[in-house]
Structure 1
Amino acid sequence: MHQCSLFILILLCVSVRDISGSWEEWWTYDGISGPGFWGLINPQWSMCNKGRRQSPVNIEPDKLLFDPWLRDIQFDKHKVSGVLQNTGQSLVFRVEKDSKHQVNISGGPLSYRYQFEEIYFHYGMEDNRGSEHQIDHHTFPGEIQLYGFNKELYHNMSEAQHKSQGIVGISLMVQVGEPTNTDFRLITSAFNKVTYRGSSFPIKHLPLSSLLPNTQQYLTYEGSTTHPGCWETAVWIIFNKPIYISKQEMYALRQLMQGSQLTPKAPLGNNARPVQPLHHRTVRTNINFNKQGLQGSNNCPDMYRNMHYTANLAVALADDIITDSSLNITTVTTDKEVTTSLPEIN
């Protein structure tokens, strides 16, 4: 009996050692290696289970804090080249390390310049799911996340992701519709080149700034990376307009597989981490809701009293995620109209 137990223990230790050599390949979005177990798979990922500033989150419009000091987001106009890769968990674009012209991200809520590094694609196998962040509990068909690292304080993404103010995450919600951005086709046309895990395809001269929606309205909060190890070092910026992808492009994206050509396993889609508790964090916005000439508070001059929003829940495909005129939540699919007041600030 003791010999049997010792044998099982040895096998377990060998298995754990083998897995620990490939943590980045072992985690998934479902099952015993899914999001609920990320913090248990690898002790260095403990924040995935224990952290209190985790991402993604659900954005509650009635709890947004208007901040008039938030600036416009600035992206360098340089084009970038890199590699689009199917990692088995996500579709990821990573910029060339030795590129002469790097794209810097600054402004907005950022106190430093951040150097663009990679793009993650999150999407669902159906249109009613896919994005990681939610707006008033509404989920978009997809979400594209641009990551950059703090180049003023740190040397690279590997170092910055563990450090304070190390990372910026730019979130672009994805809707299915008629594309308005031809530059995005540099990526979408390559979807069929990366069908299986480990496959990659070079992308040349991608104008990153032109991929962004035509707006300077955004929401921002302090959070984490949405993949292991869930490091709580990210400043998130969620633009207030989606970008569009055609039905054909979304179909091609949904053909990507988690496994190799010999063992394709399951589709790559539905690769979204569930929303995490906000834990009293503040979500700020530069959207000015004060359209009715309401008086500001003397004690809090950057907020307004008695502001209201109207959730116009019947229109599902309007451009704005949250409109600045009546704060219409145009992406929720119910036919009821809801009016809620923001809390008064004393």
Structure 2
Amino acid sequence: MMKLIILLLLYTDSISCSWESWWSYEGISGPEFWGLIYPQWQVCSKGKRQSPINIETNKLLYDPTLGDFEIDGPNVNGLLQNTGRSLEFKMTDDAEVMFSGGPLSYKYQFEGINIHYGLSDPLGSEHQINGKHFSGEIQFYGYNKELYRNMTEAREKPLGVVVVSVMVKIGDMTSRSELRLLTSALTKVAYTGTSHSINDLSITALLPETKKYMTYEGSLTEPGCWESAVWVIYNQPIYMTKQEMYVIRRLMEGTKENPKDYLGNNSRKIQPSVVTVRTNIEPKMGIYCNCSYTYTSVLPENLQTDDLVIVNNT
């Protein structure tokens, strides 16, 4: 291990860019090494509430105090970017789009979107449901505007960030028409460093129509893996067509003149989980335990909801 750390130090010392730029999803700068050589990223390897996790539906805890999760605000303008690590949407205007309610005690300002996907099925999503991945995972993130000034400050602080996660499956049709604003621009961001303006994007129109979700307190899934994130994972996926998934899987690392590899498989591996995952998916009558505490286990075969696509990922 010591020899490996020395090699890593020599490798990173030879790079003229910042620590924020050198990390990747594979090899010597991949997730297994994020916490080894940069002190501010040690939580990546030593943290106790790291994300992503495998959500086991027979261990979900029903919390009747969880209300509706709300997203309010106007449509936004921004840039769709190929960063060389992932496909991202960054808001460029000052629109106040707020996440609130549900497990949140504060209002969180929307900042952007990260899109994780695999180069082949079934890999793609960061989170697993009952040990299974989805073809992709779209993450909407924001920072706690009531306590912190910006994302840079909030991401290192308690309850600083919210990440709203939607799983992606492949289907015959695109289930959310707003998604086409992003997928129609994919050919414009084929290589690292390319970007394309996206205007008048509705965040709410990208999300599933269900009010059901799962939630836990975990970490960011990029360096430095700060354990500042409240995760909200919708209990219903959205669908992309095979053609859309084919195009997104053709995005490249590197430039047009010097292409390197395909961009996908941009997910951190599943982390050991000791967190409690709560849900507002109400169990049927008869499975409440005779206990003094509020929460009760939810068994997937007894979930009383019409959108079981995630908890019954088949």
In 2 relative to 1, CA 197–286 (structure 1 residues): closer, same or farther, beyond 3 Å? same
Residue of structure 2 equivalent to 1:248: 243
Looking at structure 2, the residues matched to 134 and 251 of structure 1 have their Cα atoms a distance apart, in angstroms, of 22
Q: Which has the higher contact order (CA 8 A, sep 6+)?
A: 2
Looking at structure 2, the residues matched to 242 and 138 of structure 1 have their Cα atoms a distance apart, in angstroms, of 14
Residue of structure 2 equivalent to 1:89: 85
Looking at structure 1, the residues matched to 301 and 287 of structure 2 have their Cα atoms a distance apart, in angstroms, of 16
Task: Establish whether residue 310 from structure 1 lines up as the match of residue 288 from structure 2.
Answer: no
For structure 1, the 5+ residue unaligned runs are 1-8, 313-317, 323-328, 333-346
* Contact 2:192/2:255, CA 8 A, preserved across alignment: yes
Residue of structure 2 equivalent to 1:338: none
Amino acid corresponding to residue 67 of structure 1 in structure 2:
D
Matches within 5 A, 1:13-52: 16-19=12-15, 21-52=17-48
Amino acid corresponding to residue 55 of structure 1 in structure 2:
S
TM-score, scaled to structure 2: 0.91
Looking at structure 2, the residues matched to 321 and 276 of structure 1 have their Cα atoms a distance apart, in angstroms, of 23
Aligned length: 306
Q: 2:233 aligns with which of 194, 216, 238?
A: 238
Please list the CA deviations of residues 149-172 of structure 1 after superposition, one character each: whole Å capped at 9, or x if unmatched: 000000110000011110000010
Displacement of 1:296 in angstroms is 4.7
Matches within 5 A, 1:147-166: 147-166=141-160
Displacement of 1:298 in angstroms is 4.8
* Contact 1:242/1:319, CA 8 A, preserved across alignment: no
* Contact 1:54/1:277, CA 8 A, preserved across alignment: yes
Displacement of 1:299 in angstroms is 0.9
TM-score, scaled to structure 1: 0.83
Displacement of 1:235 in angstroms is 0.3
In 2 relative to 1, CA 301–17 (structure 1 residues): closer, same or farther, beyond 3 Å? closer
Task: Establish whether residue 225 from structure 1 lines up as the match of residue 220 from structure 2.
Answer: yes
Residue of structure 1 equivalent to 2:277: 283
Looking at structure 2, the residues matched to 148 and 95 of structure 1 have their Cα atoms a distance apart, in angstroms, of 11
Task: Establish whether residue 73 from structure 1 lines up as the match of residue 69 from structure 2.
Answer: yes
Looking at structure 1, the residues matched to 198 and 168 of structure 2 have their Cα atoms a distance apart, in angstroms, of 20
* Contact 1:130/1:272, CA 8 A, preserved across alignment: yes
Looking at structure 1, the residues matched to 159 and 81 of structure 2 have their Cα atoms a distance apart, in angstroms, of 27
Q: Which has the larger radius of gyration?
A: 1
Task: Establish whether residue 169 from structure 1 lines up as the match of residue 151 from structure 2.
Answer: no
Looking at structure 2, the residues matched to 123 and 295 of structure 1 have their Cα atoms a distance apart, in angstroms, of 37
Looking at structure 1, the residues matched to 202 and 258 of structure 2 have their Cα atoms a distance apart, in angstroms, of 35
In 2 relative to 1, CA 253–311 (structure 1 residues): closer, same or farther, beyond 3 Å? farther
Residue of structure 2 equivalent to 1:57: 53
* Contact 2:57/2:299, CA 8 A, preserved across alignment: no
* Contact 2:73/2:96, CA 8 A, preserved across alignment: no
For structure 2, the 5+ residue unaligned runs are 1-5
